[in-house]
A and B are shown apart, each in its own frame.
Chain A
């Protein structure tokens, strides 16, 4: 099977025409999907539906349940913010690495084997005393999976998507971060396939700590720009 596998880029390129054809055909209709069908869907039991979906696909040999479990295990237990945290900690201790990361994060991700679905076209932005960066995807939920894992619920919430572009300071204040007026706030709306990693400021009182120790201080939400990091207690 591995031999038959087309590369991700080939797959995307080959299938994009098919996708746009399908979508164009569907969009030529009423626009939105059938309201009655959608209403019934919302009223249904999602657990029952998901079981039915997996059962049908398995019976028809369209998915391998062990493969499905491997995917879920990967995103629940293998990939997550600890990966991004190590990148951040290394950027704090290695000025050359930090410079390369800020100049071309995608190249660094490739060098360090941090590529993957939803996150290869990576850009890193740094928070400083004068600049605060906040990442959002107003149209859906784009997020750097290979570095942070699947996004948390708050990041996908319609209120966050709606307000972070028009009132980022208000959102941050509700999240517990009150920024001074003279700080520049940069909001990054991931509308295409570029994915953003925020490099938070290194907390005071961490001189001499190792990369591993520093990585332990870096929170998931700080790498989205939703909070600043505290000095170690």
Chain B
């Protein structure tokens, strides 16, 4: 969806200093990261896929007000309630008696097992059952399409022409589309900066983005 998360190319925001301290600064951030990675692994079917789309549906004016891990916590609450594992009332009244979970979450990992899980091979590549539509060097154009659901094609490349720079094989396709699009090969596409940003671009700049067969049309 065309919301604030798809922010590449926007002017007017103030760049921060590069922070060099700890990566988690507050105790609540530790809780949020801990819940994300334990729940991610065992609790909620589809959670890994829904985290981002839940964050993207935060109203834009509030997205900009939320600290980073507050967005994660928002998505955790939304996913846990949607899955039936917890209720809003329980989260609002954590000292009350909990009713039995009616969710189908798996058993939580032991502390030892969870580290093995974190280090597991996380590749999103799948065995290819269809040939790729494009080859390295092909001229392509990103589709000018504006889906209402989750998309991995940023607005700033839509309708723009680029060159296939790299082919990664078939990867799990995570866009929210109604049709069954089948297996999707993933590519790195190279865009000349002026194709994206016109006269404002520096002549020696290029931008690369990962895009799938579904996002691309032949050009040239």
Contact = CB atoms under 8 A, between A and B. Distances in A.
Interface string B15-45: 1111110111011111111110111010101
- Determine the interface band of chain B, counting residues with CB < 8 A from chain A: 35 or more
Contact of A15 (B49, B171, B196, B204): B49
A189 B53 contact: no
A5 B120 CA distance: 11
B8 A146 contact: no
Given A15-B47, A63-B38, A1 B76 contact: no
A2 interface: yes
Contacts of B111: 64, 66-67, 69-70
A73 to B, nearest CB: 9
A52 B35 CA distance: 12
Given A38-B74, A162-B8, A153 B210 contact: no
Contacts of B219: none
Given A60-B98, A150-B24, A189-B8, A50 B15 contact: no
Contacts, number: 391
A189 B206 contact: no
A31 to B, nearest CB: 6
A93 interface: no
Given A1-B107, A1-B113, A165 B28 contact: no
Given A169-B205, A192-B186, A116 B120 contact: yes
Interface residues of A, number: 114
A91 to B, nearest CB: 19
A61 B68 CA distance: 27
Given A19-B49, A19-B50, A163 B149 contact: no
25 contacts: A12-B48, A15-B46, A32-B57, A33-B54, A38-B59, A47-B26, A54-B34, A57-B35, A62-B108, A63-B43, A67-B114, A68-B38, A72-B30, A75-B24, A115-B120, A138-B6, A138-B156, A139-B8, A150-B23, A154-B15, A159-B14, A165-B196, A166-B201, A169-B205, A174-B15
Interface of B: 1, 3-11, 13-20, 22-24, 26-35, 37-39, 41, 43, 45-50, 52-55, 57-60, 62, 64-70, 73-74, 76-78, 80, 82, 85-86, 90-92, 94-95, 98, 100-101, 103, 105-126, 148-150, 152-154, 156, 166, 168, 171-172, 174, 176-178, 186, 188, 196-197, 200-202, 204-212
